[in-house]
Amino acid sequence: MEPRKLTILVVDDEPPMRHLVRRALENCGYTVLEAETGAAAIDIARDQPIDVLVTDVVMPGMSGLELVTVLHASGAVRRFLVMSGMSAAEAVAGLPCPATFLSKPVEPEAVAGVVRNLLALEG
């Protein structure tokens, strides 16, 4: 039996950003799932293991910070990458868990590098 490929869930309400991040991570060999909303991301995380959540902070409906809080509390995801055009301090303020911050606009290589580092933290 082959080992499971690591799965990354990318959540952003802007399709071009989601697709950019998806391509960068797929090029690294990860399985990448996409969601346009926090609610859709929660549904996806209920159905399968997610190794890293990559989310925008500012989204309609549920913010990326609310999404991180819900998925962390459920235990569905343990590693988080938060992307935003705001400052790092503003972007991760009040989160109940550690999250890595990446400033938007993002470079595909930067996203891939941060995800690699997050995954290396726990082997």
Enumerate residues 6+ apart whose C-beta is below 8 A from 3. Answer: none
How confident is the prediction along the chain (123 residues), in pLDDT tens digits per residue?
Answer: 455 589 999 999 999 999 999 999 999 999 999 999 999 999 999 999 999 999 999 999 999 999 999 999 999 999 999 999 888 877 788 888 899 999 988 899 999 999 999 998 754
- Please give the CATH superfamily to which domain 7-120 belongs: Response regulator (3.40.50.2300)
Quick one: three-class SS letters along the chain?
A: CCCCCCEEEEECCCHHHHHHHHHHHHCCCCEEEEECCHHHHHHHHHHCCCCEEEEECCCCCCCHHHHHHHHHHHCCCCCEEEEECCCHHHHHCCCCCCCEEEECCCCHHHHHHHHHHHHHCCC
Domain ranges of the chain: 7-120
Residue 19 in tokens: 């697709």
- The whole model's pTM is what? 0.93
Quick check: 91 and 110 in contact, CB under 8 A? no
